[in-house]
Amino acid sequence: MLQRLGLQLPDWASSKHPHVRYELGQAEQITRRARYMRAIGFSVIIVLLFVGGYVVGTNFLQNVPGQSLTESMMAILFWPTFILQLILQFAAMILTANTVSEQKRRLTWDNLRATEGGIGVGLRAKWASIYYRLRLLLGLVMGIRIILVIGILYDLTGFQGRYIDLLINNITPEVSPIVGALLLAVLMTAALLLPLTSMGMQAAIGLLIAVNAQQRIYNVMLQIILIVLRLLIVVGLIFATTQFINNQLVLADAPAWLLAGGYAAFGDWGLRFLHVGFYSEIWATIPYTIFYGVALLVFALGQSLVTEWILALSIRQAERIG
């Protein structure tokens, strides 16, 4: 995906690298029948999720999903996409959490240790292979976000191109339409980057678990604890943000800014903000939220730096494993 965007990947992240090819080859060592069954199961789950999204978006078929095309798309696509994102980040961690024990079981760990820089290349290749292994799920999540971005661009053509003027009317701080449009563009960029950086960070956390908890019981327990903790954080953010939006939770401006921003960063990766009608309500309700795009972009770049730090830490610790 990154290569199609014209970005140059390091050698160890390329699908042609021997270590990455080895990891992908190990993952594909299943029968043709098993692959068909997996594809059918995946398709059924996707269909059920989006049918469920339509049912929820229409209030169990009682109402139309929205007053406009983009509002209807968000109402139908939000919950299926949200669930797919949770599956994506948990799968990224689970697929890397047994890396060391798997390498030892295949009797390849000693070969990596005997090769200069082998541990580092091997772990980084494992991390990179997750993007290839989860490419269908990641592609679906990214594809939906691109559709929603196109919906924003379509909305901005409304009212003879003056829709952005209406959106930024009476917000704090006052900005020109050009600045408002640029900040909205930054938000869309951040919303497209967050799934990539968040998935990479979860895969790196999985490698850190693999290095520090090689015994199966401790490894599984750590994974369960992190998954439950993550779910509690996400559910808490959703509940608190929904309460605030529905005027059932009263907060000062600074806590409200942090709550909605935390929800976008850790909860749905900016997904809800890809409906410009909802996002403009946030602008009007909480001062300085028009800068969320900049904050989320900085957060995404920060995640990349933290991911690199976790990878480096995992490699250093792995090199001490006998």
Q: Cβ–Cβ contacts within 10 Å for residue 293, how many?
A: 23
State the pLDDT at residue 9.
Answer: 57
pLDDT beyond 70 at 7: no
State the pLDDT at residue 86.
Answer: 94
Q: What is the pLDDT of residues 134-157, one digit of tens each?
A: 999 999 999 999 999 999 999 888
Taking all residues of the chain, what is their mean pLDDT, rounded to a whole number? 87
State the pLDDT at residue 321.
Answer: 78
State the pLDDT at residue 5.
Answer: 41
- The DSSP 8-state label assigned to residue 11 in this structure reads G
Q: Residue count of the chain, please give it.
A: 322
State the pLDDT at residue 101.
Answer: 86
Of 131 and 17, the one with more pLDDT = 131
CB 267 within 8 A of CB 296: no
State the pLDDT at residue 117.
Answer: 76
Helices 118-133 and 18-27 cross at an angle (nearest 10°) of 50
pLDDT beyond 60 at 2: no
State the pLDDT at residue 6.
Answer: 40
State the pLDDT at residue 56.
Answer: 87
Model confidence at 214, pLDDT cuts 50, 70, 90, reads confident
Please enumerate, as own/partner, the contacts of 210-215 that have beta carbons within 8 Å and a separation of 24 or more. 210/96, 210/97, 210/98, 210/99, 210/100, 210/101, 210/314, 211/99, 211/100, 211/314, 211/317, 211/318, 211/321, 212/317, 214/100, 214/101, 214/104, 214/321
Q: What is the pLDDT of residues 243-296, one digit of tens each?
A: 999 889 999 999 999 999 999 999 999 999 999 988 989 998 999 999 999 999
State the pLDDT at residue 237.
Answer: 95
Q: What is the pLDDT of residues 18-42, one digit of tens each?
A: 656 666 665 555 667 777 887 788 7
Tell me the two tokens of residue 261.
């921003």
Q: What is the pLDDT of residues 285-316, one digit of tens each?
A: 999 999 999 999 999 999 999 999 999 999 99
